[in-house]
Amino acid sequence: MAEIRDGLRVVKFGGTSVATAGQLRKVRAIVEADPRRRAIVVSAPGKAHPKDTKITDLLYLAHELASKDQPIDPVWRQIEERFLGIARELGLRLELPPLLAEAKRRIEEGASADYAASRGEAIHGLLCAEWLDAEYIDAAEVVFFDRTGRLDEARTYAAIRARCQGARRVLIPGFYGTAANGGIKTFSRGGSDITGSIVAHALDAALYENWTDVSGFRMTDPRIVPDAKGISEITYGELRELSYMGANVLHEEAVFPVRAKGIPIQIKNTDRPEDPGTLIVAERDPGHQVVVGIAGTRGFTVIALEKTLMNAEVGFARRVLDVFASHGVSIEHMPTGIDTMSVVVSDRQLEGKLEVILEELQATVHPDSLKALPGMALIATVGLGMNHAIGTAARLFTALARARVNVRMIDQGSSEQNIIVGVEEDDLATAIRALYAEFA
């Protein structure tokens, strides 16, 4: 396992980790157990039980009602009760009613959806700061977006550094910051993970601990392989190949700020802090392990083109790709043969555009044959160890053949740390079970 440097740790707690007073007691024990845990990032309270609603969802609902001039009081009461209940149970002094009233007033007066949603983190941050004996720093004062809506890195990192200097322990709410126009802007859903990563980058943290409700990543989807092994160590690059295919423990974009500085991320379980979790690092020695994870997802269509002497036709691929680009459709993969080319696109991208794309392809490149084949699932089998292990592809295809899974597409990334296969959607679970049995 990679060594973790000694030094400041940023700890981020997700929605379920901070959903109730009981959970917040665990959080305090975790923070107090290690004096290096000096910067804390929190989400808004998530679900306290499976049938519960996240505070963020209630806030979006309140905004939606307000925008239709409907009363938000019933929803607002639920929000208030959650916060007041937690504060009461923990015996906090924080004056919540005026904070809640101000947020409600602004939402009723037409504040943006981003403002409404951000109040979950902002108010909970104040509450958690008192409970965890940390200095509260409003994310609106230290996280900035530029005019294009992207993070203003230089300004954000400098502001975080300046505000945190000399503080014993700080707490920054996740998920939002200030837009170029001065209003509140949020990241996409689950974005507190990104805030944690940004804070870790700014403070040159030794480690970014991401506390959640699972003990890290599993080798494959536990809904398909219930006893799938945990992943103890994985590189940013390997995780990227997997997360992109649908393993959602950590927000996809949360990797980039820490990756730029080689700061490891550790995924930990607030309910089982003794579990080792998953450590995400820049480099690792795969040892004898060839495959670190297998991720699959449904919902792809293959658009298959055939044309004699395609390989000799200058600009053929560009003209094909231009058709997709002109409709704002991004493509996933593009396996090619001498006279064939397939473009794999996610159905979400294609929605309502397939017919016109096919017509335009026909008109622009005049293929001999053009077919759309829906209902494909993609499976990524990922591992650094593949680089050196001869015969990995043979093992993979033999395992699929034995399970009688028909492979419709094959793509190996040039990094040689993944093999992607396309199978019928109905074969997805069978294929994943077969690959897990082969490589776990």
By CB under 6 A, name the binding residues for ligand ASP. Answer: 15, 43-44, 54, 56, 120, 174-175, 189-193
Q: What is the DSSP letter of 182?
A: S
* C-beta of 194 vs 202, nearer to ligand ASP: 194
Shortest distance (Å) from residue 119 CB to ligand ASP: 10
Shortest distance (Å) from residue 294 CB to ligand ASP: 26
Residues in the chain: 440
Shortest distance (Å) from residue 81 CB to ligand ASP: 18
* C-beta of 120 vs 286, nearer to ligand ASP: 120
- Token pair in block for residue 129: 């700061």
Residue 275 — φ and ψ, nearest 5°? Answer: -65, 140
* C-beta of 192 vs 235, nearer to ligand ASP: 192
Region class of 109: left (phi > 0), else alpha (psi between -120 and 50), else beta: alpha
Shortest distance (Å) from residue 120 CB to ligand ASP: 5
CB 376 within 8 A of CB 423: yes
* Straight-line distance from the first to the last Cα atom of the chain, in angstroms, rounded to the nearest whole number: 18
* C-beta of 188 vs 308, nearer to ligand ASP: 188
Shortest distance (Å) from residue 267 CB to ligand ASP: 14
Q: Give the ranges where 37-179 is alpha helix by DSSP (H).
A: 55-67, 73-90, 96-108, 113-131, 153-164
* C-beta of 19 vs 225, nearer to ligand ASP: 19
**Chain centre distance of CA 439:** 25
Q: Which of 30, 77, 59 is nearest to 210 (CA)?
A: 30
* C-beta of 189 vs 229, nearer to ligand ASP: 189
* C-beta of 26 vs 408, nearer to ligand ASP: 26
* C-beta of 193 vs 360, nearer to ligand ASP: 193
Q: Which of 184, 183, 167, 162 is nearest to 175 (CA)?
A: 184
Shortest distance (Å) from residue 440 CB to ligand ASP: 31
CB 234 within 8 A of CB 292: yes
Report the alpha-carbon distance of residue 111 to residue 129 in Å, rounded. 25
Residue 401 neighbours by CB under 8 Å, 6+ apart: none
Shortest distance (Å) from residue 436 CB to ligand ASP: 29
Shortest distance (Å) from residue 354 CB to ligand ASP: 31
Report the alpha-carbon distance of residue 82 to residue 19 in Å, rounded. 9
Q: What is the DSSP letter of 414?
A: T
